[in-house]
Amino acid sequence: MPVGAQKRPPVPPVGTTSAMTTLLLHSPLGAAGGGEVGVVGDLVIVLVSASVVALLTRRMGLAMIPAFLLTGMVLGPNTLGLVPAPDQLAPIAHLAIVVLLFGIGLELHLSSLRGRLLQLVGGAGLACGLCVLGLWALAMAFGLDPYRGLAVSMALSLSSTAVVLKLLTLRRELSRPSGRLAVAVLVVQDLAVVAMLACLPLLARAAGLTLSDGAAFDGVGDMLLRLGAIGVLIVASRLAMPWLLHESSRSGAGELLLIVGMAYALGAAWITHLLGFSLEMGAFLAGFMLSGTRFRYELMGQIVPIRDLFLAVFFTVLGMQLAPQVVAESWSVVLLATVVVLLAKSLFVGLSCWLVGAHASVAVVVGFTLAQAGEFSLVLLGEATAIGLLDARLNALIMSVVVLTLFVTPLLSSLGRRLAPLLSSAAVVPWSDRVGLGQRYGEADEEAGPPVNDVIIAGFGPVGRRVALDLEAAAISYAVVDMNSDTIRALNETGVPAFVGDAATETTLLRAGLEQARALVIAIPDDEAARRVIATARRHRSDILIAARTMAARSVGPLQEAGAEVVVSDELAAADQMALEVSSALQTTAQG
Protein backbone atom coordinates (compact mmCIF):
# COMPACT_ATOMS: atom_id res chain seq x y z
CA MET A 1 0.00 0.00 0.00
CA PRO A 2 2.26 2.80 -1.27
CA VAL A 3 1.73 6.21 0.14
CA GLY A 4 2.82 9.46 -1.46
CA ALA A 5 4.29 12.32 0.52
CA GLN A 6 1.40 14.71 -0.04
CA LYS A 7 1.43 18.22 1.35
CA ARG A 8 -1.28 19.03 3.85
CA PRO A 9 -2.84 22.39 4.71
CA PRO A 10 -1.91 23.93 8.05
CA VAL A 11 -3.60 22.34 11.06
CA PRO A 12 -3.91 23.36 14.70
CA PRO A 13 -0.88 22.77 16.96
CA VAL A 14 0.05 19.28 18.01
CA GLY A 15 -1.27 18.62 21.47
CA THR A 16 -4.60 20.29 20.60
CA THR A 17 -5.77 17.34 18.51
CA SER A 18 -6.36 13.69 19.03
CA ALA A 19 -8.12 10.80 17.35
CA MET A 20 -11.41 12.37 18.35
CA THR A 21 -10.70 15.99 17.53
CA THR A 22 -9.61 14.91 14.05
CA LEU A 23 -13.35 14.67 13.39
CA LEU A 24 -13.77 18.28 14.41
CA LEU A 25 -10.99 19.39 12.05
CA HIS A 26 -12.82 18.06 9.02
CA SER A 27 -16.43 18.51 10.12
CA PRO A 28 -17.23 21.58 12.26
CA LEU A 29 -19.53 21.08 15.18
CA GLY A 30 -21.86 23.80 14.02
CA ALA A 31 -22.40 22.09 10.69
CA ALA A 32 -23.79 18.99 12.26
CA GLY A 33 -27.00 20.45 13.45
CA GLY A 34 -29.26 18.83 15.93
CA GLY A 35 -28.17 20.91 18.94
CA GLU A 36 -28.32 19.48 22.43
CA VAL A 37 -31.22 17.17 21.56
CA GLY A 38 -29.16 15.68 18.72
CA VAL A 39 -26.22 15.08 21.04
CA VAL A 40 -28.43 13.37 23.64
CA GLY A 41 -30.10 11.25 20.97
CA ASP A 42 -26.77 10.16 19.51
CA LEU A 43 -25.44 9.41 22.98
CA VAL A 44 -28.49 7.26 23.74
CA ILE A 45 -27.94 5.29 20.54
CA VAL A 46 -24.26 4.79 21.39
CA LEU A 47 -24.90 3.69 24.99
CA VAL A 48 -27.79 1.34 24.13
CA SER A 49 -25.78 -0.27 21.34
CA ALA A 50 -22.69 -0.54 23.54
CA SER A 51 -24.76 -2.17 26.30
CA VAL A 52 -26.07 -4.84 23.94
CA VAL A 53 -22.62 -5.47 22.50
CA ALA A 54 -21.05 -5.68 25.96
CA LEU A 55 -23.58 -8.31 27.03
CA LEU A 56 -23.00 -10.38 23.89
CA THR A 57 -19.20 -10.20 23.97
CA ARG A 58 -19.11 -11.13 27.66
CA ARG A 59 -21.30 -14.17 26.96
CA MET A 60 -19.03 -15.20 24.07
CA GLY A 61 -15.80 -14.49 25.97
CA LEU A 62 -14.58 -11.91 23.42
CA ALA A 63 -12.73 -8.64 24.02
CA MET A 64 -15.05 -5.64 24.31
CA ILE A 65 -12.84 -2.94 22.78
CA PRO A 66 -12.84 -4.31 19.21
CA ALA A 67 -16.55 -5.01 19.55
CA PHE A 68 -17.16 -1.37 20.48
CA LEU A 69 -15.09 -0.26 17.48
CA LEU A 70 -17.11 -2.41 15.09
CA THR A 71 -20.34 -1.18 16.67
CA GLY A 72 -19.26 2.38 15.96
CA MET A 73 -18.50 1.47 12.38
CA VAL A 74 -22.01 0.05 11.95
CA LEU A 75 -23.69 3.05 13.59
CA GLY A 76 -21.57 5.68 11.83
CA PRO A 77 -22.09 7.64 8.64
CA ASN A 78 -20.05 5.18 6.57
CA THR A 79 -22.53 2.33 7.15
CA LEU A 80 -26.10 2.57 8.58
CA GLY A 81 -25.84 6.25 9.44
CA LEU A 82 -27.79 5.98 12.70
CA VAL A 83 -25.33 8.55 14.05
CA PRO A 84 -24.87 10.75 10.97
CA ALA A 85 -22.79 13.43 12.71
CA PRO A 86 -20.34 11.75 15.11
CA ASP A 87 -18.49 15.06 15.48
CA GLN A 88 -21.22 16.11 17.94
CA LEU A 89 -19.95 13.45 20.34
CA ALA A 90 -16.29 14.41 19.89
CA PRO A 91 -16.07 16.51 23.11
CA ILE A 92 -17.57 13.65 25.14
CA ALA A 93 -15.26 11.14 23.52
CA HIS A 94 -12.28 13.39 24.15
CA LEU A 95 -13.14 13.59 27.84
CA ALA A 96 -13.56 9.81 27.74
CA ILE A 97 -10.00 9.17 26.65
CA VAL A 98 -8.69 11.56 29.31
CA VAL A 99 -10.51 9.52 31.98
CA LEU A 100 -9.45 6.25 30.34
CA LEU A 101 -5.77 7.13 30.31
CA PHE A 102 -5.93 8.56 33.83
CA GLY A 103 -7.28 5.20 34.98
CA ILE A 104 -4.58 3.31 33.07
CA GLY A 105 -1.92 5.49 34.67
CA LEU A 106 -3.32 4.69 38.12
CA GLU A 107 -3.00 0.96 37.44
CA LEU A 108 0.60 1.13 36.24
CA HIS A 109 2.90 1.64 39.20
CA LEU A 110 6.45 0.33 39.31
CA SER A 111 5.62 -1.52 42.53
CA SER A 112 3.62 -3.93 40.37
CA LEU A 113 6.97 -5.16 39.01
CA ARG A 114 8.02 -6.33 42.51
CA GLY A 115 11.58 -7.63 42.50
CA ARG A 116 14.15 -7.87 39.71
CA LEU A 117 13.12 -4.40 38.51
CA LEU A 118 16.24 -3.87 36.40
CA GLN A 119 15.82 -7.15 34.51
CA LEU A 120 12.10 -6.64 33.98
CA VAL A 121 12.43 -3.08 32.72
CA GLY A 122 15.46 -4.03 30.61
CA GLY A 123 13.52 -6.81 28.92
CA ALA A 124 10.54 -4.52 28.44
CA GLY A 125 12.69 -1.81 26.88
CA LEU A 126 14.32 -4.36 24.56
CA ALA A 127 10.88 -5.66 23.53
CA CYS A 128 9.64 -2.15 22.81
CA GLY A 129 12.74 -1.26 20.77
CA LEU A 130 12.71 -4.49 18.75
CA CYS A 131 9.01 -4.07 17.95
CA VAL A 132 9.51 -0.52 16.68
CA LEU A 133 12.54 -1.39 14.56
CA GLY A 134 11.12 -4.64 13.21
CA LEU A 135 7.72 -3.18 12.37
CA TRP A 136 9.43 -0.15 10.80
CA ALA A 137 11.24 -2.42 8.35
CA LEU A 138 8.03 -4.30 7.61
CA ALA A 139 6.10 -1.04 7.08
CA MET A 140 8.62 0.07 4.49
CA ALA A 141 8.35 -3.35 2.87
CA PHE A 142 4.63 -2.59 2.48
CA GLY A 143 5.50 0.55 0.53
CA LEU A 144 5.58 3.31 3.17
CA ASP A 145 8.32 5.91 3.17
CA PRO A 146 10.66 5.92 6.21
CA TYR A 147 8.83 8.76 8.00
CA ARG A 148 5.31 7.40 7.72
CA GLY A 149 6.63 3.89 8.24
CA LEU A 150 8.17 4.92 11.57
CA ALA A 151 4.91 6.58 12.68
CA VAL A 152 2.95 3.43 11.85
CA SER A 153 5.52 1.14 13.48
CA MET A 154 5.48 3.20 16.70
CA ALA A 155 1.69 2.97 16.82
CA LEU A 156 1.56 -0.78 16.14
CA SER A 157 4.40 -1.56 18.55
CA LEU A 158 2.14 -0.63 21.48
CA SER A 159 -0.04 -3.29 23.12
CA SER A 160 -3.42 -2.84 24.77
CA THR A 161 -3.01 -2.11 28.47
CA ALA A 162 -6.77 -2.15 29.08
CA VAL A 163 -7.35 -5.52 27.38
CA VAL A 164 -4.24 -7.31 28.71
CA LEU A 165 -4.61 -6.17 32.33
CA LYS A 166 -8.25 -7.27 32.38
CA LEU A 167 -7.28 -10.62 30.83
CA LEU A 168 -4.47 -11.20 33.33
CA THR A 169 -6.73 -10.23 36.22
CA LEU A 170 -9.47 -12.64 35.16
CA ARG A 171 -6.93 -15.45 34.82
CA ARG A 172 -5.21 -14.55 38.12
CA GLU A 173 -1.82 -14.30 36.42
CA LEU A 174 -0.67 -10.84 37.51
CA SER A 175 1.64 -12.25 40.19
CA ARG A 176 3.13 -14.98 37.97
CA PRO A 177 6.41 -14.45 36.07
CA SER A 178 4.46 -14.15 32.82
CA GLY A 179 2.15 -11.55 34.35
CA ARG A 180 5.00 -9.49 35.81
CA LEU A 181 6.87 -9.51 32.50
CA ALA A 182 3.73 -8.52 30.58
CA VAL A 183 3.06 -5.65 33.01
CA ALA A 184 6.69 -4.50 32.71
CA VAL A 185 6.39 -4.34 28.92
CA LEU A 186 3.08 -2.46 29.17
CA VAL A 187 4.57 0.08 31.60
CA VAL A 188 7.55 0.78 29.34
CA GLN A 189 5.35 1.00 26.26
CA ASP A 190 2.96 3.43 27.89
CA LEU A 191 5.82 5.59 29.13
CA ALA A 192 7.35 5.50 25.63
CA VAL A 193 4.17 7.10 24.29
CA VAL A 194 5.44 10.42 25.72
CA ALA A 195 8.48 10.31 23.43
CA MET A 196 6.45 9.00 20.50
CA LEU A 197 3.94 11.86 20.69
CA ALA A 198 6.83 14.32 20.78
CA CYS A 199 8.42 12.67 17.72
CA LEU A 200 5.37 12.87 15.46
CA PRO A 201 5.66 16.58 14.52
CA LEU A 202 9.40 16.12 13.98
CA LEU A 203 8.66 13.24 11.60
CA ALA A 204 6.09 15.41 9.82
CA ARG A 205 8.68 18.14 9.26
CA ALA A 206 11.26 15.61 8.10
CA ALA A 207 8.68 14.28 5.62
CA GLY A 208 8.40 17.77 4.11
CA LEU A 209 5.02 18.71 5.56
CA THR A 210 4.28 22.33 6.39
CA LEU A 211 2.78 22.70 9.85
CA SER A 212 1.24 25.77 11.37
CA ASP A 213 3.25 27.91 13.78
CA GLY A 214 3.78 26.11 17.06
CA ALA A 215 2.70 22.78 15.59
CA ALA A 216 6.08 21.31 16.34
CA PHE A 217 8.97 21.98 18.63
CA ASP A 218 11.46 24.59 17.39
CA GLY A 219 14.52 22.41 17.65
CA VAL A 220 15.97 20.23 20.35
CA GLY A 221 16.37 23.12 22.79
CA ASP A 222 12.70 24.00 22.67
CA MET A 223 11.70 20.36 23.14
CA LEU A 224 14.02 20.01 26.14
CA LEU A 225 12.60 23.21 27.64
CA ARG A 226 9.06 21.92 27.38
CA LEU A 227 10.07 18.52 28.75
CA GLY A 228 11.72 20.38 31.62
CA ALA A 229 8.39 22.06 32.35
CA ILE A 230 6.81 18.60 32.45
CA GLY A 231 9.50 17.62 34.95
CA VAL A 232 8.59 20.61 37.13
CA LEU A 233 4.95 19.52 37.00
CA ILE A 234 5.94 16.01 38.09
CA VAL A 235 8.07 17.25 41.00
CA ALA A 236 5.35 19.67 42.16
CA SER A 237 2.81 16.85 41.97
CA ARG A 238 5.02 14.55 44.04
CA LEU A 239 5.27 17.21 46.74
CA ALA A 240 1.71 18.54 46.81
CA MET A 241 -0.66 15.77 45.77
CA PRO A 242 -0.02 13.28 48.64
CA TRP A 243 -0.76 16.02 51.18
CA LEU A 244 -3.85 17.18 49.27
CA LEU A 245 -5.19 13.62 48.95
CA HIS A 246 -4.48 13.02 52.63
CA GLU A 247 -6.51 16.09 53.61
CA SER A 248 -9.32 15.03 51.27
CA SER A 249 -9.36 11.57 52.82
CA ARG A 250 -9.46 13.01 56.37
CA SER A 251 -12.68 14.86 55.54
CA GLY A 252 -14.56 11.55 55.54
CA ALA A 253 -16.32 12.38 52.27
CA GLY A 254 -15.41 9.69 49.77
CA GLU A 255 -16.49 11.77 46.79
CA LEU A 256 -14.02 14.53 47.70
CA LEU A 257 -11.08 12.24 46.95
CA LEU A 258 -12.56 11.52 43.51
CA ILE A 259 -13.17 15.22 42.82
CA VAL A 260 -9.61 16.16 43.78
CA GLY A 261 -8.16 13.30 41.72
CA MET A 262 -10.16 14.18 38.62
CA ALA A 263 -9.39 17.88 39.02
CA TYR A 264 -5.70 17.01 39.08
CA ALA A 265 -6.06 14.76 36.02
CA LEU A 266 -7.83 17.44 33.97
CA GLY A 267 -5.45 20.12 35.22
CA ALA A 268 -2.39 18.10 34.26
CA ALA A 269 -3.93 17.38 30.85
CA TRP A 270 -4.57 21.10 30.32
CA ILE A 271 -1.00 22.04 31.33
CA THR A 272 0.55 19.49 28.94
CA HIS A 273 -1.74 20.86 26.22
CA LEU A 274 -0.40 24.38 26.86
CA LEU A 275 3.15 23.00 26.63
CA GLY A 276 2.48 21.62 23.16
CA PHE A 277 1.86 18.00 24.10
CA SER A 278 -1.43 16.13 24.05
CA LEU A 279 -4.18 16.11 26.65
CA GLU A 280 -3.95 12.32 26.70
CA MET A 281 -0.30 12.42 27.74
CA GLY A 282 -1.09 14.74 30.66
CA ALA A 283 -3.94 12.54 31.88
CA PHE A 284 -1.76 9.43 31.77
CA LEU A 285 1.08 11.14 33.64
CA ALA A 286 -1.39 12.36 36.29
CA GLY A 287 -2.61 8.82 36.90
CA PHE A 288 0.91 7.44 36.93
CA MET A 289 1.98 10.04 39.51
CA LEU A 290 -0.96 9.24 41.81
CA SER A 291 -0.34 5.49 41.46
CA GLY A 292 2.58 5.92 43.85
CA THR A 293 0.38 7.22 46.68
CA ARG A 294 -1.42 5.09 49.26
CA PHE A 295 -4.71 6.44 47.87
CA ARG A 296 -4.15 4.60 44.61
CA TYR A 297 -6.65 1.81 45.24
CA GLU A 298 -9.36 4.09 46.57
CA LEU A 299 -9.08 6.25 43.47
CA MET A 300 -9.06 3.19 41.23
CA GLY A 301 -12.21 1.89 42.90
CA GLN A 302 -14.02 5.15 42.20
CA ILE A 303 -12.58 5.70 38.71
CA VAL A 304 -13.16 2.20 37.30
CA PRO A 305 -16.97 2.48 36.83
CA ILE A 306 -16.62 5.92 35.24
CA ARG A 307 -13.72 4.73 33.10
CA ASP A 308 -15.64 1.70 31.84
CA LEU A 309 -18.59 3.90 30.85
CA PHE A 310 -16.37 6.35 28.99
CA LEU A 311 -14.41 3.49 27.44
CA ALA A 312 -17.58 2.28 25.73
CA VAL A 313 -18.36 5.77 24.43
CA PHE A 314 -14.81 6.49 23.26
CA PHE A 315 -14.23 3.31 21.30
CA THR A 316 -17.72 3.32 19.81
CA VAL A 317 -17.34 6.89 18.56
CA LEU A 318 -13.80 6.14 17.38
CA GLY A 319 -15.13 3.19 15.39
CA MET A 320 -17.27 5.59 13.39
CA GLN A 321 -14.09 6.60 11.58
CA LEU A 322 -13.70 3.10 10.16
CA ALA A 323 -14.56 3.01 6.47
CA PRO A 324 -15.84 -0.46 5.43
CA GLN A 325 -15.56 0.38 1.74
CA VAL A 326 -11.86 1.20 2.10
CA VAL A 327 -11.23 -2.03 3.98
CA ALA A 328 -13.26 -4.02 1.44
CA GLU A 329 -11.15 -2.64 -1.40
CA SER A 330 -7.92 -3.67 0.36
CA TRP A 331 -9.05 -6.62 2.48
CA SER A 332 -6.14 -8.82 1.41
CA VAL A 333 -3.64 -6.15 2.48
CA VAL A 334 -5.42 -5.71 5.83
CA LEU A 335 -5.42 -9.45 6.55
CA LEU A 336 -1.79 -9.85 5.50
CA ALA A 337 -0.73 -6.86 7.60
CA THR A 338 -2.65 -8.21 10.60
CA VAL A 339 -0.95 -11.61 10.39
CA VAL A 340 2.47 -10.00 9.95
CA VAL A 341 1.97 -7.69 12.97
CA LEU A 342 0.81 -10.55 15.20
CA LEU A 343 3.67 -12.84 14.22
CA ALA A 344 6.30 -10.11 14.41
CA LYS A 345 5.25 -8.82 17.82
CA SER A 346 4.93 -12.32 19.25
CA LEU A 347 8.47 -13.08 18.06
CA PHE A 348 10.06 -9.79 19.19
CA VAL A 349 8.38 -9.68 22.62
CA GLY A 350 8.97 -13.37 23.30
CA LEU A 351 12.62 -13.17 22.20
CA SER A 352 13.20 -10.13 24.43
CA CYS A 353 11.74 -11.91 27.46
CA TRP A 354 13.89 -14.97 26.80
CA LEU A 355 17.03 -12.86 26.42
CA VAL A 356 16.59 -11.27 29.85
CA GLY A 357 16.36 -14.70 31.47
CA ALA A 358 12.71 -15.77 31.26
CA HIS A 359 12.04 -19.42 30.56
CA ALA A 360 10.93 -20.11 26.99
CA SER A 361 7.53 -21.31 28.20
CA VAL A 362 6.98 -17.96 29.94
CA ALA A 363 8.36 -15.97 26.99
CA VAL A 364 5.95 -17.56 24.52
CA VAL A 365 2.96 -16.77 26.76
CA VAL A 366 4.02 -13.12 27.10
CA GLY A 367 4.73 -12.85 23.38
CA PHE A 368 1.31 -14.08 22.32
CA THR A 369 -0.46 -12.09 25.05
CA LEU A 370 1.10 -8.79 23.89
CA ALA A 371 0.89 -9.40 20.13
CA GLN A 372 -2.02 -7.02 19.59
CA ALA A 373 -2.04 -3.25 19.06
CA GLY A 374 -3.73 -1.07 21.68
CA GLU A 375 -5.60 2.05 22.69
CA PHE A 376 -2.46 4.17 22.53
CA SER A 377 -2.02 2.93 18.96
CA LEU A 378 -5.30 4.62 18.11
CA VAL A 379 -4.20 7.81 19.86
CA LEU A 380 -0.94 7.96 17.90
CA LEU A 381 -2.70 7.21 14.62
CA GLY A 382 -5.17 10.01 15.31
CA GLU A 383 -2.38 12.48 16.09
CA ALA A 384 -0.40 11.45 13.00
CA THR A 385 -3.48 11.88 10.82
CA ALA A 386 -4.34 15.24 12.38
CA ILE A 387 -0.95 16.74 11.51
CA GLY A 388 -1.04 15.28 7.98
CA LEU A 389 1.62 12.61 8.43
CA LEU A 390 -0.90 9.90 7.52
CA ASP A 391 -3.80 10.28 5.09
CA ALA A 392 -7.36 9.23 5.84
CA ARG A 393 -7.16 6.05 3.74
CA LEU A 394 -4.00 4.79 5.39
CA ASN A 395 -5.42 5.67 8.81
CA ALA A 396 -8.53 3.60 8.06
CA LEU A 397 -6.45 0.63 6.94
CA ILE A 398 -4.16 0.69 9.99
CA MET A 399 -7.14 1.14 12.33
CA SER A 400 -8.67 -1.97 10.77
CA VAL A 401 -5.46 -3.88 11.54
CA VAL A 402 -5.63 -2.65 15.15
CA VAL A 403 -9.24 -3.84 15.47
CA LEU A 404 -8.45 -7.29 14.09
CA THR A 405 -5.46 -7.76 16.41
CA LEU A 406 -7.59 -6.80 19.40
CA PHE A 407 -10.28 -9.28 18.38
CA VAL A 408 -7.93 -12.27 18.41
CA THR A 409 -6.13 -11.37 21.66
CA PRO A 410 -7.99 -13.87 23.91
CA LEU A 411 -7.45 -16.62 21.34
CA LEU A 412 -3.75 -15.83 20.95
CA SER A 413 -3.23 -15.70 24.71
CA SER A 414 -4.88 -19.11 25.06
CA LEU A 415 -2.68 -20.42 22.25
CA GLY A 416 0.41 -19.23 24.10
CA ARG A 417 -0.70 -21.04 27.25
CA ARG A 418 -1.23 -24.24 25.23
CA LEU A 419 2.22 -24.01 23.65
CA ALA A 420 3.95 -23.30 26.98
CA PRO A 421 4.09 -26.96 28.19
CA LEU A 422 5.73 -27.97 24.89
CA LEU A 423 8.66 -25.68 25.75
CA SER A 424 9.09 -26.84 29.35
CA SER A 425 12.40 -28.57 28.50
CA ALA A 426 13.73 -25.71 26.34
CA ALA A 427 17.09 -24.18 27.14
CA VAL A 428 17.42 -20.96 29.11
CA VAL A 429 20.09 -18.29 28.83
CA PRO A 430 23.09 -18.82 31.14
CA TRP A 431 22.27 -15.80 33.30
CA SER A 432 18.65 -16.80 34.03
CA ASP A 433 19.53 -18.26 37.46
CA ARG A 434 21.31 -15.07 38.49
CA VAL A 435 18.32 -12.86 37.66
CA GLY A 436 15.79 -15.35 39.04
CA LEU A 437 13.42 -15.38 36.07
CA GLY A 438 13.98 -18.94 34.93
CA GLN A 439 10.75 -20.45 36.27
CA ARG A 440 8.67 -22.48 33.85
CA TYR A 441 5.17 -21.33 33.08
CA GLY A 442 2.74 -22.72 35.64
CA GLU A 443 5.28 -23.28 38.40
CA ALA A 444 4.38 -21.97 41.83
CA ASP A 445 5.21 -18.30 42.15
CA GLU A 446 7.28 -17.12 45.06
CA GLU A 447 5.84 -13.61 45.10
CA ALA A 448 3.34 -12.77 47.78
CA GLY A 449 -0.17 -11.85 46.72
CA PRO A 450 -2.82 -10.05 48.73
CA PRO A 451 -2.66 -10.54 52.51
CA VAL A 452 -4.10 -13.80 53.81
CA ASN A 453 -6.15 -13.08 56.93
CA ASP A 454 -9.14 -14.79 58.48
CA VAL A 455 -11.25 -11.65 58.86
CA ILE A 456 -11.64 -8.28 57.15
CA ILE A 457 -12.95 -5.48 59.38
CA ALA A 458 -14.66 -2.69 57.43
CA GLY A 459 -14.73 0.43 59.59
CA PHE A 460 -12.41 0.99 62.54
CA GLY A 461 -14.42 3.06 64.96
CA PRO A 462 -15.16 1.97 68.54
CA VAL A 463 -16.98 -1.17 67.37
CA GLY A 464 -14.29 -2.13 64.87
CA ARG A 465 -11.56 -1.64 67.49
CA ARG A 466 -13.35 -3.84 70.01
CA VAL A 467 -13.82 -6.56 67.39
CA ALA A 468 -10.10 -6.35 66.58
CA LEU A 469 -9.14 -6.73 70.26
CA ASP A 470 -11.37 -9.78 70.65
CA LEU A 471 -9.95 -11.34 67.47
CA GLU A 472 -6.41 -10.77 68.70
CA ALA A 473 -7.29 -12.43 72.01
CA ALA A 474 -8.58 -15.43 70.07
CA ALA A 475 -5.44 -15.50 67.86
CA ILE A 476 -7.47 -14.77 64.72
CA SER A 477 -5.72 -12.69 62.03
CA TYR A 478 -7.49 -9.71 60.50
CA ALA A 479 -7.10 -6.83 58.05
CA VAL A 480 -8.73 -3.41 58.31
CA VAL A 481 -10.40 -1.16 55.73
CA ASP A 482 -11.23 2.41 56.73
CA MET A 483 -11.69 5.81 55.10
CA ASN A 484 -9.51 7.63 57.63
CA SER A 485 -5.92 7.76 56.34
CA ASP A 486 -4.54 8.65 59.79
CA THR A 487 -6.09 5.51 61.28
CA ILE A 488 -4.71 3.37 58.48
CA ARG A 489 -1.23 4.83 58.82
CA ALA A 490 -1.22 4.20 62.58
CA LEU A 491 -2.32 0.58 62.06
CA ASN A 492 0.34 0.00 59.41
CA GLU A 493 2.99 1.31 61.79
CA THR A 494 1.96 -1.34 64.32
CA GLY A 495 2.16 -4.09 61.70
CA VAL A 496 -1.59 -4.51 61.13
CA PRO A 497 -2.49 -4.89 57.43
CA ALA A 498 -4.74 -1.89 56.84
CA PHE A 499 -5.99 -0.19 53.68
CA VAL A 500 -7.46 3.24 53.13
CA GLY A 501 -10.57 3.26 50.97
CA ASP A 502 -14.27 2.65 50.68
CA ALA A 503 -15.08 -0.97 51.54
CA ALA A 504 -17.93 -0.83 49.04
CA THR A 505 -15.47 -0.72 46.13
CA GLU A 506 -14.24 -4.08 44.90
CA THR A 507 -10.64 -2.93 44.38
CA THR A 508 -10.37 -2.02 48.06
CA LEU A 509 -11.86 -5.29 49.32
CA LEU A 510 -9.78 -7.38 46.92
CA ARG A 511 -6.66 -5.51 48.00
CA ALA A 512 -7.52 -6.34 51.61
CA GLY A 513 -7.70 -10.04 50.76
CA LEU A 514 -11.40 -10.71 50.11
CA GLU A 515 -10.68 -13.80 48.04
CA GLN A 516 -8.81 -15.50 50.90
CA ALA A 517 -10.72 -14.23 53.96
CA ARG A 518 -13.15 -16.44 55.87
CA ALA A 519 -15.30 -13.64 57.29
CA LEU A 520 -16.14 -9.98 56.72
CA VAL A 521 -17.14 -7.78 59.67
CA ILE A 522 -18.93 -4.56 58.68
CA ALA A 523 -18.62 -2.19 61.63
CA ILE A 524 -19.78 0.90 59.72
CA PRO A 525 -22.61 2.81 61.49
CA ASP A 526 -24.47 3.37 58.21
CA ASP A 527 -27.04 0.84 56.97
CA GLU A 528 -26.92 2.01 53.35
CA ALA A 529 -23.13 1.83 53.28
CA ALA A 530 -23.30 -1.62 54.86
CA ARG A 531 -25.66 -2.80 52.11
CA ARG A 532 -23.21 -1.61 49.43
CA VAL A 533 -20.35 -3.45 51.13
CA ILE A 534 -22.43 -6.62 51.37
CA ALA A 535 -23.39 -6.40 47.68
CA THR A 536 -19.77 -5.93 46.61
CA ALA A 537 -18.56 -8.83 48.75
CA ARG A 538 -21.31 -11.15 47.54
CA ARG A 539 -20.47 -10.48 43.89
CA HIS A 540 -17.07 -12.08 44.51
CA ARG A 541 -17.72 -14.50 47.36
CA SER A 542 -20.94 -16.36 48.02
CA ASP A 543 -19.36 -18.48 50.75
CA ILE A 544 -17.81 -15.83 53.00
CA LEU A 545 -19.38 -15.21 56.42
CA ILE A 546 -20.64 -11.61 56.66
CA ALA A 547 -21.43 -9.96 60.01
CA ALA A 548 -22.83 -6.42 60.11
CA ARG A 549 -23.80 -3.91 62.79
CA THR A 550 -26.79 -1.58 62.64
CA MET A 551 -27.99 1.25 64.84
CA ALA A 552 -31.69 0.33 64.78
CA ALA A 553 -33.42 -2.95 65.56
CA ARG A 554 -35.73 -2.52 62.56
CA SER A 555 -32.76 -2.78 60.18
CA VAL A 556 -31.76 -6.30 61.23
CA GLY A 557 -34.12 -7.98 58.75
CA PRO A 558 -33.19 -5.85 55.70
CA LEU A 559 -29.48 -6.41 56.25
CA GLN A 560 -30.04 -10.15 56.56
CA GLU A 561 -32.01 -10.07 53.32
CA ALA A 562 -29.10 -8.18 51.72
CA GLY A 563 -26.81 -11.11 52.48
CA ALA A 564 -25.45 -10.76 56.03
CA GLU A 565 -25.67 -13.95 58.10
CA VAL A 566 -25.01 -12.17 61.40
CA VAL A 567 -26.54 -8.77 62.18
CA VAL A 568 -26.09 -7.08 65.56
CA SER A 569 -28.30 -4.12 66.51
CA ASP A 570 -26.86 -1.44 68.78
CA GLU A 571 -30.31 -1.01 70.35
CA LEU A 572 -30.80 -4.72 71.01
CA ALA A 573 -27.21 -5.14 72.20
CA ALA A 574 -27.66 -2.23 74.63
CA ALA A 575 -30.93 -3.75 75.88
CA ASP A 576 -29.36 -7.17 76.37
CA GLN A 577 -26.40 -5.66 78.22
CA MET A 578 -28.64 -3.55 80.44
CA ALA A 579 -30.83 -6.53 81.27
CA LEU A 580 -27.74 -8.59 82.10
CA GLU A 581 -26.32 -5.88 84.35
CA VAL A 582 -29.62 -5.29 86.17
CA SER A 583 -30.19 -9.02 86.69
CA SER A 584 -26.68 -9.43 88.03
CA ALA A 585 -27.10 -6.45 90.39
CA LEU A 586 -30.44 -7.75 91.72
CA GLN A 587 -29.03 -11.20 92.34
CA THR A 588 -26.10 -9.71 94.24
CA THR A 589 -28.48 -7.62 96.41
CA ALA A 590 -30.71 -10.60 97.13
CA GLN A 591 -27.77 -12.72 98.21
CA GLY A 592 -26.47 -9.93 100.45
Distance CA 35, CA 450 (A): 50
73-123 pLDDT, tens digit each: 888 887 888 888 777 787 777 787 788 778 777 776 655 555 555 666 777
525-541 pLDDT, tens digit each: 888 888 889 988 888 88
Alpha helices by DSSP H, 356-451: 360-369, 375-386, 392-407, 409-419, 432-435
Q: pTM for the full model?
A: 0.66
Q: Answer for the pair 153, 147: CB distance below 8 angstroms, yes or no.
A: no
248-285 pLDDT, tens digit each: 777 666 678 788 888 888 888 888 878 777 677 788 78
Q: What number of other Cβ atoms are within 10 A of residue 240's Cβ?
A: 11
Q: Is 442 exposed, middle or buried (0-12, 13-18, 19+ CB in 10 A)?
A: middle
Which CATH class for the 455-591 domain?
A: alpha beta
CATH number of 92-312+329-423: 1.20.1530.20
First to last CA, the chain: 104
Mean pLDDT of the chain: 79
pLDDT score of 338:
92
Distance CA 72, CA 350 (A): 33
What mean pLDDT comes out for the span 342-357?
90
HSE, side-chain direction, 13 A CA sphere, residue 472: 10
Distance CA 377, CA 390 (A): 13
pLDDT score of 213:
46
Distance CA 436, CA 438 (A): 6
Bridge partner list, 521: 457, 547
Instruction: Name 569's Cβ contacts closer than 8 Å, sequence gap at least 6.
Output: 549, 550, 551, 552, 553, 555, 556
Distance CA 380, CA 66 (A): 17
HSE, side-chain direction, 13 A CA sphere, residue 29: 11
CATH 3.40.50.720-classified regions of the chain: 455-591
| Residue 43 main-chain phi, psi, to 5 deg | -65, -40
What mean pLDDT comes out for the span 51-77?
79
Q: What is the DSSP string of 1-44?
A: -----------PPTTS--TTHHHHHHS-HHHH--HHHHHHHHHH
Q: Answer for the pair 86, 76: CB distance below 8 angstroms, yes or no.
A: yes
pLDDT score of 342:
95
CATH 1.20.1530.20-classified regions of the chain: 92-312+329-423
561-572 pLDDT, tens digit each: 888 999 998 888
180-223 pLDDT, tens digit each: 788 888 878 877 887 787 788 888 888 877 665 444 455 566 66
Distance CA 270, CA 194 (A): 15
Distance CA 177, CA 182 (A): 9
Q: What number of other Cβ atoms are within 10 A of residue 241's Cβ?
A: 20
Distance CA 25, CA 16 (A): 11
3-state secondary structure of 474: coil
Instruction: Name 34's Cβ contacts closer than 8 Å, sequence gap at least 6.
Output: 41, 42, 85, 88
